[in-house]
Chains A and B, each alone.
Chain A
Amino acid sequence: AQKVTQAQTEISVVEKEDVTLDCVYETRDTTYYLFWYKQPPSGELVFLIRRNSFDEQNEISGRYSWNFQKSTSSFNFTITASQVVDSAVYFCALSERGNNRLAFGKGNQVVVIP
């Protein structure tokens, strides 16, 4: 069964600080896909990144970076030099081959204080 755990529920940071969101997943499959989505107050889920289980290379996109470690079943997300516009709920999600769904974690509420 797919399972995603995001332990921190709410994280508050002062603007320009870095913030790291932890995501731990469980799966029996060797082929799977990991995602991060952002849900701002408007409510729409915005896609940030998709990573397959065979690609452990870390990725950086602007102020966003992701650290994928299969050994610890983690796919962590870091926002560098946070801005007020980063205030949102961030979801980590997992998809397995043959399983017709995304399994989401409970989300991390990030509050960036100006």
Chain B
Amino acid sequence: GAGVSQSPRYKVAKRGQDVALRCDPISGHVSLFWYQQALGQGPEFLTYFQNEAQLDKSGLPSDRFFAERPEGSVSTLKIQRTQQEDSAVYLCASSLGDATDTQYFGPGTRLTVL
């Protein structure tokens, strides 16, 4: 079956622009996660959805970061007024149950802010 997909794969933005990153989870997966991975580091948690409810957004680094999953399937991570420090790979993952279940990851979106 299809895995987690993300689009775009690469995004270049000028500082101050808004960006939107999309994630299509595995069909039927209840939970969806966003992580941020800086170069040479492990992924860092951003936010967690169970169906359409955002249950944890404690990892979002600032109020410029916003995520939604309105119908409990596709999710969008939006970054407003991008800054250079936002440059990273943004990974989406989904799991059948909760965060203790196996999370399956998408290929990521590499964001570069100039």
Residues from chain A with Cβ under 8 Å of B42 in the complex: 4, 91, 93, 104-107
Q: Is B18's beta carbon under 8 Å from chain A? A: no
Number of interface residues of B (CB under 8 A): 26
* Binary CB contact string for chain A from 39 to 59 against chain B (1 if under 8 A, 0 otherwise): 000111111001000000000
Among A13-21, A69-77, A80-88, A95-103, the one that faces the other chain is: A95-103
Number of interface residues of A (CB under 8 A): 26
Q: Is A35's beta carbon under 8 Å from chain B? A: yes
Chain B, residue nearest A46 (CB) = B105
Q: Is A33's beta carbon under 8 Å from chain B? A: yes
Is the CB–CB distance between A45 and B105 below 8 Å?
A: yes
Q: Which 6 A-B pairs have CB atoms at the shortest separation, nearest pair first?
A: A104-B42, A101-B45, A45-B105, A100-B48, A100-B56, A44-B107
* A95-B99, A100-B98, A101-B33 as given contacts; A44 in contact with B55, CB under 8 Å: no
Q: Is B59's beta carbon under 8 Å from chain A? A: yes
The A-B contact count (CB < 8 A) is 63
B binding-site residues for A, Cβ under 8 Å: 33, 35, 40-45, 48, 55-56, 59, 89, 91, 93, 98-100, 102-108, 110
Residues from chain A with Cβ under 8 Å of B40 in the complex: 106
A binding-site residues for B, Cβ under 8 Å: 4, 32-33, 35, 37, 42-47, 50, 91, 93, 95-97, 99-107
Is the CB–CB distance between A101 and B48 below 8 Å?
A: yes
* A91-B42, A106-B41, A107-B42 as given contacts; A100 in contact with B108, CB under 8 Å: no
Interchain CA distance A103-B106 in the complex, whole Å:
17
Residues from chain B with Cβ under 8 Å of A96 in the complex: 100
Is the CB–CB distance between A101 and B99 below 8 Å?
A: yes
Is the CB–CB distance between A44 and B99 below 8 Å?
A: no
